[in-house]
């Protein structure tokens, strides 16, 4: 059984499985090093099947016995699975296999985390548990018996019986194997109940390790809010008697939507004021919602094949962002989403890893859980909603759930319900799924005789495998402002469908100022020659909060870019506008915090690159430092008052209003620290009674290189709490000066609490290093080398997390030749590693090409 060369899988090759799976019965005899899995599966051959091969996936399984209708059989076994001769009519397949959960460091299949058993099957992990047609279009009901000494034995569906050392579960809803889950451990639950709209009484539990039971209440509230919201907004109810969430410490991703048994990275569910920041609370609420919403968009209606991943992920991200907008502030959510989209998805879409929202080939599906599938996939749904309108969107979604319940679907099915509801031809819209790359929309305008003309021109750069692109349909939301700041034309959605198109607005008394791409109505890069005064005008007057922020963001970027390229001082007009805005108490603190938050250094690098320059990370860093120092000095007199005014009084609450205020407060503190050398930050650290304040103060002190004492105190206080220790590891690297980041990260990898097998800890250090742009790219390449060393070491243990982290190299061609040479040599070194995983091999190969 030799290693096979990496194989590419194509969408066009899709063929259904030739058998129906009528039912699945599984028995688990748990043992850390040698768990036995017994399966009993009824298959019915499909008479019209194009492919009649009986192939069951199976990897890293030790086959003990195999039977068909009670008779022993001897299947042909390969590294990928087995084949066997089978009867022409329905038959029972039985197998017994042995697996090693303890030795499973890849965290895929059945593995152990801190003494508890848990599973991760998406995308193709079930084949590491037993032989099975492990593909999402094979759906069946599962009955599971677990035998083990652990106090708590959980699987999908409803509990049907339990006794000393065993428990049985039955899931009545047919599901693909990737939604299977099993958890066993000495866990404690935080229980609650929920009654659905139609009166079903549902038992809710969050299961955690002893000691963490005080950190479940917030997640539970978020779950109940999600359940109500999905009923109210989409008319979707929960469909089992019980809903379980389990927190595990070792997990490759954020969380997983297994039917009735969601498994969460503990960082995405455990929350308490003392240990979690505002940002943690917000993220936990969103992820709980996301996984819950998958019950309909993903589980009841699933994907036909993994090329359709965005069918469930894009839609579910879209739904969770609607939820967050409703629970908190819609404009703040939109602005944060766009910052995130530009930071991660635009980088991906404009580099060697660019791929379609629905890819047409892959080697390792784990490498396609990307910002493009998730976040751009959600943007595409947002555009669709904008184009058809809210009512049609609601009708089409309703039709989708009625028509496809219980099915494994494609993007075509999704678009069809919109065509059927609206009569609209969506063939051009479909290009959003099949063409990779971020469209550029160039804007020019003219005014004459009361008519204002906007001309929009679209083009999309070539991406790997796609040199030429056709024009797409792009919804461009536009509003017009008069010279006094009043809106003379309310928001209107222009549909750009051609390469170049003009739109006119009549009856105007003077040339208006256009607010274009309001709410960021399409994931495109707007190219427009605007004056700084026009931007300052929009920053002061635009009624669309997104574009108001956007105007400030564009000014911030341009000012920094001028500083980098021309060595000039920060733009005086922009500084002036900014200081006014920060001091304007009539504005929402959350909005002020966003306006104050600097454009990310990687966004600046990307923008410089787009404009034909080679970004110098050190110069970008220096410009940011100078800018912040100048801003702090310009605000000298106001900072103490602003700090006091934005200090939240009373007991901690993670609500949107307090969060926005604390965000602004943290920005003020960081400015203050530049003037007072850290006195206020040290006082805040000493007095902090919640993690948001403690973390913000420590960040300021570390950044000022004055945090040694507090960092030690933080360690002493929190060394017993894994999630807080992740912050301790990450924050030091994130706040390190460029010349110190790599050596500090290296030292931390030798800390007794550094644990490569724990993805959170690995990411805390290595992710923070990669995010510290000037530190990671510091001349000499120590950062690159350290990361490559660690990726090579991790690949042998955990390919999925290694491969994901390789993507930090994706922007390498932006940089100067010495940096490119250094990065290339590290990528080459990774690629040359013996027994490199398929995951990492695919990523490194794509990045290098």
Active site residues: 291
The Cα 754–Cα 716 span in angstroms is 16
When the beta carbons of 75 and 136 are compared against Zn ion, the nearer one is: 136
Q: Which of positions 353-382 make contact with ligand PHE (CB under 6 A)? A: 369
DSSP annotation of 301 reads: B
The reply to whether 798 sits near ligand PHE by the rule CB under 6 A is no
Cross-strand bridge partners of residue 171: 142
Stretch that binds ligand PHE, among 119-127, 687-695, 783-791, 824-832 (CB under 6 A): 119-127
Question: Reduced to 3 states, what is the DSSP secondary structure of residue 475?
Answer: strand
Question: Cβ 284 to Zn ion, closest distance in Å?
Answer: 15
CB of 290 to ligand PHE, least distance (A): 6
Contacts of 729 (CB under 8 A, 6+ apart): 748, 751, 753, 754, 761, 764, 765, 768
Q: What are the Cα distances from residue 657, in Å, to 325, 460, 653?
A: 13, 40, 9
Q: Based on the shown chain and the rule CB under 6 A, indicate whether residue 175 belongs to the binding site for ligand PHE.
A: no
User: Minimal CB distance to ligand PHE: which residue?
Assistant: 253
Q: Is 253 a binder of ligand PHE (CB under 6 A)? A: yes
- Rounded Cα distance, 289 and 633, in Å: 43
Owner of token pair 């989209």: 341
Determine the interface stretch with Zn ion among 46-54, 310-318, 707-715, 748-756 (rule: CB under 5 A): 310-318
Interacting span for Zn ion (CB under 5 A) from 6-14, 106-114, 121-129, 311-319: 311-319
| Nearest distance, CB of residue 158 and ligand PHE, angstroms | 22
Q: Which stretch binds Zn ion (CB under 5 A): 316-324, 527-535, 666-674, 776-784?
A: 316-324
* 172 Cβ neighbours under 8 A, 6+ residues apart: 141, 157, 158, 240
Choose the binding region for ligand PHE from 25-33, 250-258, 355-363, 485-493 (rule: CB under 6 A): 250-258
In the list ligand PHE, Zn ion, none, the entry touching 253 (Cβ below 5 to 8 angstroms by class) is: ligand PHE
Please state, in angstroms and rounded to a whole number, the distance separating the CA atoms of residues 560 and 567. 9
Buried b (16+ CB within 10 A) or exposed e, 641-660: ebbeebebeeebebebebbb
Alpha helices in 542-588 (DSSP H): 545-566, 572-583
Question: In this chain, which of 94, 122, 550, 795 binds ligand PHE, going by CB under 6 A?
Answer: 122
Q: Which is nearer to Zn ion, 104 or 316 (CB)?
A: 316
Rule CB under 6 A: say whether 256 interacts with ligand PHE.
yes
Nearer Cβ to ligand PHE (257/603): 257
**Distance between CA atoms of 251 and 758, rounded to whole angstroms?**
8
Contacted by 748, from Zn ion, ligand PHE, none: CB < 5 to 8 Å by type: none
Q: Which is nearer to Zn ion, 315 or 766 (CB)?
A: 315
Choose the contact partner of 35 out of Zn ion, ligand PHE, none; CB within 5 to 8 A by kind. Answer: none
Is 17 a binding residue for ligand PHE by CB under 6 A? The answer is no
Does the bond joining 22 to the residue before it have cis omega, within 30 degrees of 0?
no
Q: What is the largest CA-CA distance in the chain?
A: 89
Helix (H, G, I), strand (E, B) or coil at 147: strand
Residue partners of 459: CB distance under 8 A and separation at least 6: 439, 440, 442, 469, 499
Strands 440-448 and 451-459: antiparallel
CB of 222 to ligand PHE, least distance (A): 15
Question: Residue 522: how many CB atoms within 10 A of its CB?
Answer: 25
CB of 804 to ligand PHE, least distance (A): 10
Segments in 74-202 forming alpha helices (H)? none
**Residue 305 contacts which entry, Zn ion, ligand PHE, none (Cβ below 5-8 A, type-dependent):** none
Nearest distance from residue 407's CB to Zn ion, in Å?
A: 19
Q: How many CB atoms lie within 10 A of CB 43?
A: 25
Looking at the Cβ atoms of 367 and 519, the one nearer to Zn ion is 367
Q: Which of residues 266-295 bind ligand PHE (CB under 6 A)?
A: 290-291
Residues 696, 735 contacting (CB under 8 angstroms): no
Closer CB to ligand PHE, 152 or 253, in the complex: 253
Query: Nearer Cβ to Zn ion, position 285 or 313?
Result: 313
Residue 659's binding partner among ligand PHE, Zn ion, none (Cβ under 5 to 8 angstroms by kind) is none
Listed ranges 314-322, 379-387, 731-739, 828-836: which one lies at the site for Zn ion (CB under 5 A): 314-322
256 binds, among ligand PHE, Zn ion, none (CB under 5 to 8 A by kind): ligand PHE
Name which position in 134, 257, 349, 746 contacts ligand PHE (CB under 6 A).
257
Nearer Cβ to Zn ion (220/303): 303
295-354 residues near ligand PHE, rule: CB under 6 A: 313
Number of residues that bind Zn ion (CB under 5 A): 2
Give the Cα separation of 398 and 401 in Å (integer).
5
x-marked contacts with ligand PHE along 610-639 as a string, rule CB under 6 A: ------------------------------
Q: Smaller CB distance to Zn ion: residue 316 or 416?
A: 316
369 touches which of ligand PHE, Zn ion, none (CB within 5 to 8 A by kind)? ligand PHE
Element (H, E) at 327: helix 309-327
Task: Write the interaction track for ligand PHE spanning residues 72-111; mark x where CB under 6 A is met and - where it is not.
Answer: ----------------------------------------
Q: Which does 544 bind (CB under 5 to 8 A by kind): ligand PHE, Zn ion, none?
A: none
Give yes or no for a contact between 367 and 381, defined as CB atoms under 8 angstroms apart: no
CA distance linking residue 355 with residue 734, whole number of Å: 29
CB closer to ligand PHE, 266 vs 710: 266
How many residues sit in the footprint of ligand PHE (CB under 6 A)? 11
Closest CB 257 distance from ligand PHE, rounded Å: 6
Element (H, E) at 453: strand 451-459
DSSP-assigned letters across all residues of 611-676: TT----HHHHHHHHHHHHHHHHHHTTTTHHHHHHHTPPPSS----HHHHHHHHHHHHHHHHHHHHH
Question: In whole angstroms, what is the distance from residue 428 CA to residue 413 CA?
Answer: 16
To Zn ion, the closest distance from the beta carbon of 316 in angstroms equals 5
Q: Is the CB of 249 or the CB of 257 nearer to ligand PHE?
A: 257
Q: Which helix (H) or strand (E) holds 260?
A: none
Among ligand PHE, Zn ion, none, partner that 463 touches (CB below 5 to 8 angstroms by kind): none
Q: Which residues contact 567 (CB under 8 A, 6 or more apart)?
A: none
Please give the structure tokens belonging to residue 611: 């404009």
Contact 551, 337 (CB under 8 A): no
Task: Please give the DSSP secondary-structure letter assigned to residue 829.
Answer: H
Angle subtended at Cα 73 by Cα 72 and Cα 79, rounded to the nearest 5 degrees? 130
CB-based contacts of 71, cutoff 8 Å, min separation 6: none
120 binds, among Zn ion, ligand PHE, none (CB under 5 to 8 A by kind): ligand PHE
Judged by beta carbon, residue 255 or residue 656, the one nearer ligand PHE is 255
- Candidates 505, 510, 483, 506; CA nearest to 494 is 505
486 CB contacts (<8 Å, ≥6 apart)?
none
One residue of 120, 189, 266, 280 binding ligand PHE per CB under 6 A: 120
Applying CB under 6 A, the residues found at the interface with ligand PHE are: 120, 122-123, 253, 255-257, 290-291, 313, 369
Applying CB under 5 A, the residues found at the interface with Zn ion are: 313, 316
């Amino acid at each position: 059984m030799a290693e096979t060369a990496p194989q590419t899988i194509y969408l066009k090759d899709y063929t259904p499985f030739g058998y129906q799976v009528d039912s699945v019965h599984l028995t688990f005899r748990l043992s850390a090093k040698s768990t036995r899995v017994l399966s009993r599966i009824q298959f019915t051959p499909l008479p019209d099947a194009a492919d009649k091969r009986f192939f069951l996936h199976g990897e890293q399984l030790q086959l003990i016995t195999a039977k068909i209708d009670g008779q022993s059989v001897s299947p042909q076994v390969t590294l990928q699975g087995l084949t066997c001769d089978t009867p022409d009519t329905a038959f029972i397949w039985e197998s017994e296999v042995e697996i090693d959960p303890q030795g499973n460091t890849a965290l895929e299949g059945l593995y152990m985390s801190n003494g508890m058993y848990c599973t991760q099957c998406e995308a193709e992990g079930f084949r590491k548990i037993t032989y099975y047609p492990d593909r999402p279009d094979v759906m069946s009901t599962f009955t599971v018996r677990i035998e083990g000494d652990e106090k708590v034995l959980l699987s999908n569906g409803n509990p049907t019986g339990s006794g000393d050392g065993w428990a049985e579960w039955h899931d009545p809803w047919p599901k693909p194997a990737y939604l299977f889950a099993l958890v066993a451990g000495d866990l404690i639950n935080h229980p609650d109940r929920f009654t659905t709209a139609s009166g079903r009484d549902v038992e809710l539990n969050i299961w955690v390790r002893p000691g963490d039971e005080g950190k479940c209440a917030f997640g539970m509230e978020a779950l109940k809010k999600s359940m109500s919201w999905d009923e109210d907004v989409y008319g979707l109810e929960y469909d089992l008697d019980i809903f379980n969430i389990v927190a595990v410490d070792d997990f490759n991703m954020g969380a997983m939507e297994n039917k009735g048994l969601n498994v969460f990275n503990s960082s995405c569910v455990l929350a308490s004021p003392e240990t979690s920041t505002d940002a943690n609370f917000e993220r936990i609420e969103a992820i709980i919602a996301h996984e819950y919403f998958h019950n309909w968009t993903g589980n009841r209606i699933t994907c036909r094949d993994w090329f359709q991943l965005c069918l469930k992920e894009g839609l579910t991200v879209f739904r969770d962002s609607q939820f967050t907008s409703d629970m908190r502030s819609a404009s703040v959510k939109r602005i944060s989403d766009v910052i995130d989209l530009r930071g991660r998805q635009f980088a991906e879409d404009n580099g060697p890893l660019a791929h379609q929202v629905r890819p047409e080939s892959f080697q390792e599906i784990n490498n396609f859980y990307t910002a493009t599938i998730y976040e751009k996939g959600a943007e595409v749904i947002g555009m669709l909603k904008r184009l058809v309108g809210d009512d049609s969107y609601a009708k089409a979604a309703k039709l989708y759930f009625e028509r496809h319940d219980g099915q494994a679907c494609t993007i075509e099915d999704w678009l069809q319900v919109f065509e059927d509801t609206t009569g609209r031809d969506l063939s051009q819209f479909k290009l959003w799924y099949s063409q990779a790359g971020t469209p550029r929309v160039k804007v020019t305008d003219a005014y004459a005789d009361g008519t204002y003309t906007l001309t929009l021109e679209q083009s999309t750069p070539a991406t790997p495998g796609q040199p030429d692109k056709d024009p797409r349909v792009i919804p461009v939301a536009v509003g017009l402002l008069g010279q006094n700041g009043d809106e003379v034309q309310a928001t209107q959605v222009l549909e750009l469908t051609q390469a170049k198109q003009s739109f006119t607005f009549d009856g105007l008394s003077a040339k208006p100022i256009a607010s274009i791409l309001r709410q960021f109505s399409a994931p495109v890069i707007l190219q427009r020659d605007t004056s700084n005064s026009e931007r300052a005008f929009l920053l002061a007057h635009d009624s669309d909060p997104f574009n108001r922020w956007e105007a400030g963001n564009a000014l911030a970027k341009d000012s920094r870019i001028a500083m980098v390229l021309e060595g000039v001082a920060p733009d005086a007009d922009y500084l002036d506008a900014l200081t006014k805005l920060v001091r304007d108490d009539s504005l929402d603190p959350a909005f002020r915090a966003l306006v104050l938050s600097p454009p990310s250094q990687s966004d600046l690098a990307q923008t410089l690159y787009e404009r034909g320059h080679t970004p110098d990370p050190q110069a970008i860093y220096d410009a940011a430092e100078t800018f912040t120092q100048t801003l702090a000095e310009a605000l000298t007199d106001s900072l103490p008052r602003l700090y006091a005014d934005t200090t939240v009084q009373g007991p901690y609450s993670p609500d949107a209003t307090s969060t926005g205020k604390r965000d602004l407060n943290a920005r003020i503190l960081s400015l203050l620290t530049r003037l007072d050398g850290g006195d206020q930050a040290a006082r805040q650290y000493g007095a902090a009674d919640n993690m948001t304040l403690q973390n913000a103060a420590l960040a300021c002190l570390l950044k000022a290189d004055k945090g040694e004492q507090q960092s030690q105190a933080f360690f002493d206080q929190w060394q017993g709490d894994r999630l807080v220790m992740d912050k301790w590891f990450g924050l030091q690297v994130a706040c390190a000066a460029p010349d110190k980041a790599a050596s500090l990260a290296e030292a931390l990898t030798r800390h007794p609490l550094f644990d490569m097998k724990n993805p959170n800890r690995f990411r805390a250090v290595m992710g923070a290093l990669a995010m510290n742009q000037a530190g990671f790219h510091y001349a000499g390449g120590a950062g690159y080398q350290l990361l490559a060393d660690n990726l090579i070491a991790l690949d042998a243990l955990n390919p999925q997390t290694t491969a994901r982290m390789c993507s930090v190299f994706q922007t390498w061609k932006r940089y100067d030749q010495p940096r490119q040479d250094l990065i290339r040599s590290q990528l080459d070194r990774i690629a040359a590693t013996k027994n490199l995983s398929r995951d990492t091999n695919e990523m490194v190969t794509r990045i290098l090409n």
